[in-house]
Structure 1
Amino acid sequence: MRYFLLLMSLWLLAPAAGATALPPDSTILVINHLPADGLMLKKGWRYHAGDDPAWARSDFDDSAWDTLNPTRPRRELPQALGTGISWLRLRFRLGDSLRRHDLLVNCGERGAVEVYLNGRLVQRQGVINADPAQVVPRGRFPQPGQVPAGGPAEQVLAVRYAPWQSSLLVGIDRTPLLTSVLFNPQVFWEGQGKEKNNSQIYLVLLGFSALLALLHFAFYRYNPAQRANRYFARFALASALASFGAHCMYTLTFDSLGPYLVLAATTNSLASMTGLWSVRALYALFNVRPGRIYTGLWVVYGGVVLMLALAPYLPATIFLWSGLSILFIAEELRLTVRAVRQRRRGAWIIAVGFAGGLLAAIGYVGIHALSVSVLAANLCIVGIFVLRALGISLFLAREFALDAGLLQVKLGEVERLSAQTIAQEQDKQALLAAQNETLEQQVTQRTGELQRSLTELRATQAQLIQKEKMASLGELTAGIAHEIQNPLNFVNNFSEVSAELCQEAQELLATAALPAADKDELTELLRDLEQNQAKITQHGRRAAAIVRGMLEHSRTSPGDRTPTNLNSLADEYLRLAYQGLRAKDKTFNAALRTNFAPGLPDVPAVGADLGRVLLNLFGNAFYAVHQRQQAGEAGYAPTVSLSTERVNGHVAIRVTDNGTGMSPAVQAKIFQPFFTTKPTGEGTGLGLSLSYDIITKGHGGTLSVHSTPGESTEFTITLPV
């Protein structure tokens, strides 16, 4: 539908209604008024086959020539007019008001012409030749002839005409022999300017289609399993090429009719091809195997292409082209309605898009029939394509998002199964420990040295098993995180590229010759699109931070346990965390209180891992007191306390703050992966989860929390000596 005007322009460039010849006593056409769109000169013409330069003179007596209406089809006129050079003459008299102004006359059709006004050559189109096969027909946007003001009362318009015939084209004899229109100059040039300006809408379609083609070709390259992306990309590419061809048809000046006909046939063929690829994309989206219907569409499409190339002037070509478009729409509706009835996931999105496109098509037909507004008609043309394309594109985007969500669910299932496996292993270890205890009671007679050796062996065995489990779990988590990171990088990269394209589009729009209202609306749309891209980039980076946290969570420490002075280690990381926060915010201050137990024994631990735990706890404590300080509470003094002590064969480290505290519900989830109370973008929720695993699984200790909402929070680490 959106290229219907292009095909119509090849078939009907002038009205086909006839006009009777003037009576013999009325050989002069009197013109007192010009319609707004110009006056078609139908009556008063006389013709004669042959070629004589004297026939251009205004004083030549043509009373013996026959009369005719040259706007009628060639096949209804004398055969001599279609076989060689002939002359047509018209005597006319302009009213006094018209003679005071310059006018324009534009003559031509499927042939070459020389137009003489009162014996003076005013217009030439094409190349005249006595052999119709050698005639070069007129092109697109020819220069009209001048009818100067102040001319004689009676004037003579003589046209030397040579018809154009092509052995490849069928139906040229259905076109008018000659159309001659008298224009007001301002109306003529404004009409041509509006026609070219209105074609700018095809550049919008070109940019939109090219962007969709690029994106979906890239999506198909990344995920070949979703073949609908390939077919939809071909649909968008065909639409982009057709839009470019339509823009050229309405803006370029063609010296000859041949290239224009080739471009018109190619443009309309590409426009029809969009329907084929749209249907094929729906087959792929809804998992429908193409059958005889789709094959039949290709067969009809081939016939349409032949008709467009060889018989563009036949009415059957227009009906066949329009019928093929109706078949495409019918098949798309059939597939969409079938998918909606089968409750296919997301099928309603495509249905809404096609319904919007159908409403736009109906609106275009109504606007075109009533000739209400060219701008409204162009917007309907945009809506016909854009709404259908957005429906399919949004459906594919939703499928991508749902697949990503399913991947997250599977990841959670893997983590649950991993936790279940670890629990089972722990049960097995507990059972093995019970059996070992029974064996120890049976071998009490062994020496102390043997007992110590056995104890060390068990500890080494438990540590090795734990390392192997953590290594396996880490490899699994790291692999999943890497798989997520690859498409995530793709999303972030193309989001940034799309943002740059939006900026380039805004720069091009700033220099485009568009009406102010259209330019403002397009600028606003591009700004909204740019803001959406910024949101995608922001949340993509946040997701990347989560993936990096997962990779860090899965990393295992290669170091072995060594005797560690916890007083020195804790004091060092307390100062380090405080100075780090101070470096970010110079206004932050907090009181540091330490209470280290003297003579605390060294504890076997991995210093780097334990330091990470302490650094995370101190950072959370400083964050909590900073948040309470920013609330502006009167008399509040932020304080972070650190203490160590020895309790029942264990060493305890306590980190206390008088910050915002936590509710019981938050305390119950605080050690879960990805759980955080911080605003979006300030935390991934993996810090305490990682710390919990390091203390409990890596060092055989405990990590607990006690908090009073709005008052304080205390984390306690216990490690075996």
Structure 2
Amino acid sequence: MRYFFLLVACWLLALPAEAAVPLPADSAVLRITRLPANGLLLSHGWRYHAGDDPAWARPDFDDSSWDTIPVARVGFALPARALAGPGWFRLRLRLGDSLRYQALGLRTNRTMAGFELYLNGRPFGHYGTFSTDPAGVQPTRIVPAALLFPPTDARQDLVLAVRFAPWQPAPPLSAYLAQNRLLDLVLWLETGQNLQQQRTEAGYSTAIVTFVGGVFLLLGLLHWVFFQYQPAQPANRYFAFYALAIGASQLLDCVHWLTLGRGLMANGLMYLLLGLGALWGLRALYALFAIRPGWLYAGLCVGVAVLAPVRMAAELRGNLTTGFYCNVAFVVLVTAEQLRLTARGVRQRRRGAWMIGTGFGVGLLFQLVYASSYRLLDTGVEDTVLYQLAFLAPALGISLFLAREFALDSQLLQVKLGEVERLSAQTLAQEQEKQALLAEQNEMLEHQVMQRTGELQRSLTELRATQAQLIQKEKMASLGELTAGIAHEIQNPLNFVNNFSEVSSELLDELAEEQARPLRDAELELELVDDLRQNMAKITQHGQRAASIVRGMLEHSRTNSGERAPTDLNALCQEYLRLAYQGLRAKDKSFNAELTTDFAADLPLVEVVGADLGRVLLNLFANAFYAVHQRQQLGVAGHRPTVEVRTRLAEQRVEIRVQDNGTGMSEAIQQKIFQPFFTTKPTGEGTGLGLSLSYDIITQGHGGTLSVESHEGRGTDFIISLPA
């Protein structure tokens, strides 16, 4: 990661990293009198032989027949003969007096091989896993650890033997890992003190990087929570992604225990996260300053998609230069765009933009200090601190800005909340006042309702009394019509009784005179007695007729008990038709109408309340006679008043049809004919309850139907349908 910012430093401040003591070409022993501060790269004097024999580790083994081989050449791998399979490297060391009694050790770079190390025949460590079977070979770790020499006789030369086996990666890594660049033997000879110092510095650096990565992760989680509480500020979301990506890449940079293949893949993922984090950081700035991303941002997105695999492939192939320059170009573009956006925000005097500018300024300052002092600092901890501060300062600036925005928004919300609470309290007081006023109004309204209810109750009582009176009046009107008809019916038999009584008195006088004569005419007496007997029979007949009429009147006037009884509907219709007709004639002697009956002979007795059904029939007959009488008074030519009654039995129902050829009714009148108090008669001639009561008697009292069919100017049919 840290090589992203070192292009200038590499150009200006590159220093030699190693120093080697010249070795005569014909010498088989490498003489070392001193060690440079950064250690000695063991690149000369090595002998190599292919194969595997543990005896080759002994210090007294004669390797003079072995080939000399170059190792640790920058940019070059081992010769081809060392890449074919396992083999041994041997190097003889002769230490100067100043080094014989110091603790020494070795460190190495990552390489595509597994090898074991022997000093004077004694094994003292290994890197990766050596095996004569290529499938069992495992390469070194991505960051190999240093190894210390075991104690030896300081007076003897040292024989360093390396049991070496190349690693053949499996697909898909085999397509990317290049043995001709990554397979090498690179060993540095260091003092134990230097190795311990490097280990300590590496531990501190790892702890610092881990700490900074944790800080980034915490910042990411914090701003994700900010975004959840305030979705209207998308910059929190982008900054959360940025911080999480950078934090994850920092932690990946601390993973040193992975093998070479997995470690290189982890590095590729780290570079991808760094690129995505940089894009999300830019996106956060765009959102903060309300700037729409342009072509440069789109190009950087494409660059991340392209550079991450290119950088990873280059590192897998051992070509660090290509990846380095690609990363430097990307970082320069991202940093320039970040500075441009920040400067624009400061120029526009955006609230809090100075905080972001300060963060980038401090970060840039740390980058410059880090680049200028790279490899000049005493320890790696110091450059790690500078590098991490250069990363952390801009993030802290943006985070503080977003936190300040969140705090200001929260403060504004608090003010608004106080205003809302004040308005709520005011509204509550107004609501309570309204409730009190409403309660008072409700109490007043209840009092008024009680008064109105009392008035309505009295009106309803009066209405019911009036309705009862009207119903009674209708009944009395029906009774009056019935009485008029009955009186007219009784008058005829009484006239016959009177006439036959007078004739009988005259016959009795003649019979008495005949009996008083001395010469009585027996034949005449018999004739008078016979006439008298006939007159008495006539008187008896008409007297019985009058008696039956009186009995019917009594039944009609008797209070209805509501009990049903089997009734001959034909006889009932015949009787009430005649009574209704006689009642109308009693009022108007000039009225005459043709009465027609068509009674079904098979009509069964029907369970009805005779008095109630008679009242219905009387009402229908009276209306029919009234209608034909009205049309007769109109003087319609050829009109002959006719009222017809028919009975039928069909589908277990008895039908009574009352038909007239009177004035008829319109559709509008037919819709209202059964409504209470509706009448077509002039005021004072009808109550409007006759048909309404008749409808209730038929439908509610007997479970039947009462319907009307009428044509204006042609006549009307009323149809009663009752269960048989």
Q: TM-score, normalised by structure 1?
A: 0.52
Match of 1:125 in 2: 127
Match of 1:57 in 2: 58
Listed as ranges, the matches of 1:182-261 within 5 Å are 182-249=189-256, 253-254=257-258, 256-261=259-264
1:164-188 per-residue CA deviation (whole Å, 9 max, x = no partner) reads: 3431434553346112223332332
Cα drift, residue 192 of structure 1 = 0.9
- On the 8 A contact 2:35/2:190 being kept in 1, the answer is yes
Distance 1:337 1:262, change over 3 A: same
Matched, 1:26 2:27: yes
Task: Measure the CA separation in 1 of the matches of 2:407 and 2:98.
Answer: 70
Match of 1:364 in 2: 370
Match of 1:98 in 2: 99
Match of 1:386 in 2: 392
- On the 8 A contact 1:16/1:72 being kept in 2, the answer is no
1:396-420 per-residue CA deviation (whole Å, 9 max, x = no partner) reads: 3444455567779xxxxxxxxxxxx
Task: Measure the CA separation in 2 of the matches of 1:375 and 1:76.
Answer: 31
3-state SS of 1:556 partner: helix
- On the 8 A contact 1:276/1:298 being kept in 2, the answer is yes
Cα drift, residue 246 of structure 1 = 2.5
Match of 2:428 in 1: 555
Task: Measure the CA separation in 1 of the matches of 2:277 and 2:38.
Answer: 35
Task: Measure the CA separation in 2 of the matches of 1:246 and 1:5.
Answer: 16
Cα drift, residue 324 of structure 1 = 1.3
Task: Measure the CA separation in 2 of the matches of 1:373 and 1:75.
Answer: 29
- On the 8 A contact 1:99/1:151 being kept in 2, the answer is yes
Please list every run of 5 or more consecutive structure 1 residues that lacks an aligned counterpart in the other structure. Answer: 8-13, 409-480, 486-542, 562-721
Distance 1:407 1:28, change over 3 A: closer
Match of 1:70 in 2: 71
Task: Measure the CA separation in 1 of the matches of 2:271 and 2:218.
Answer: 21
Matched, 1:115 2:103: no
Cα drift, residue 80 of structure 1 = 1.0
Query: What is the percent sequence identity of the aligned residues?
Result: 41
- On the 8 A contact 1:33/1:95 being kept in 2, the answer is yes
Match of 1:423 in 2: none
3-state SS of 1:392 partner: helix
Match of 1:137 in 2: 139
Matched, 1:317 2:319: no
Task: Measure the CA separation in 2 of the matches of 1:195 and 1:216.
Answer: 31
Task: Measure the CA separation in 1 of the matches of 2:85 and 2:53.
Answer: 13
- On the 8 A contact 1:361/1:381 being kept in 2, the answer is yes
Task: Measure the CA separation in 2 of the matches of 1:145 and 1:399.
Answer: 55
Match of 2:446 in 1: none
Listed as ranges, the matches of 1:154-169 within 5 Å are 154-166=157-169, 167-169=174-176
How many matched pairs? 421
Match of 2:274 in 1: 271
Cα drift, residue 316 of structure 1 = 0.3
Distance 1:59 1:560, change over 3 A: closer
Task: Measure the CA separation in 2 of the matches of 1:19 and 1:373.
Answer: 23
Which one of 360, 364, 381 corresponds to residue 354 of structure 1? Answer: 360
Distance 1:402 1:187, change over 3 A: closer
Structural RMSD (CA): 3.6
Which one of 142, 155, 180 corresponds to residue 173 of structure 1? Answer: 180
Match of 2:81 in 1: 80
- On the 8 A contact 1:40/1:182 being kept in 2, the answer is yes
Please list every run of 5 or more consecutive structure 2 residues that lacks an aligned counterpart in the other structure. Answer: 8-14, 435-724
Instruction: Name which of structure 1's ranges 344-353 and 273-282 shifts more when overlaid on structure 2.
Output: 344-353
Matched, 1:153 2:156: yes
Matched, 1:395 2:401: yes
Match of 1:294 in 2: 297
Task: Measure the CA separation in 2 of the matches of 1:133 and 1:196.
Answer: 33
Cα drift, residue 20 of structure 1 = 10
Task: Measure the CA separation in 1 of the matches of 2:19 and 2:382.
Answer: 33
3-state SS of 2:200 partner: helix
- On the 8 A contact 2:286/2:292 being kept in 1, the answer is yes
1:61-101 per-residue CA deviation (whole Å, 9 max, x = no partner) reads: 22233323311157464211122222211112123443334
Distance 1:115 1:74, change over 3 A: farther
- On the 8 A contact 1:16/1:71 being kept in 2, the answer is no
Query: 2:263 is aligned with what amino acid?
Result: Y
Query: 2:234 is aligned with what amino acid?
Result: R
- On the 8 A contact 1:28/1:44 being kept in 2, the answer is yes
Listed as ranges, the matches of 1:286-685 within 5 Å are 286-312=289-315, 313-314=318-319, 315-400=321-406, 403=409, 484-485=416-417, 551-556=424-429
Task: Measure the CA separation in 2 of the matches of 1:3 and 1:245.
Answer: 16
Query: 1:29 is aligned with what amino acid?
Result: L
Query: 2:138 is aligned with what amino acid?
Result: V
Query: 2:232 is aligned with what amino acid?
Result: A
Task: Measure the CA separation in 2 of the matches of 1:161 and 1:347.
Answer: 59
Match of 1:285 in 2: 288
1:248-303 per-residue CA deviation (whole Å, 9 max, x = no partner) reads: 33xxx44x323322333222322232211111111222222223322211221122
Instruction: Name which of structure 1's ranges 139-148 and 227-236 shifts more when overlaid on structure 2.
Output: 139-148
Query: 1:161 is aligned with what amino acid?
Result: F
- On the 8 A contact 1:21/1:44 being kept in 2, the answer is no
Query: 1:352 is aligned with what amino acid?
Result: T
Task: Measure the CA separation in 1 of the matches of 2:154 and 2:382.
Answer: 42
Distance 1:128 1:404, change over 3 A: closer
Task: Measure the CA separation in 2 of the matches of 1:213 and 1:33.
Answer: 50
1:458-509 per-residue CA deviation (whole Å, 9 max, x = no partner) reads: xxxxxxxxxxxxxxxxxxxxxxx7xx44xxxxxxxxxxxxxxxxxxxxxxxx
Which one has the largest radius of gyration? 2
Cα drift, residue 394 of structure 1 = 3.1
- On the 8 A contact 1:18/1:71 being kept in 2, the answer is no
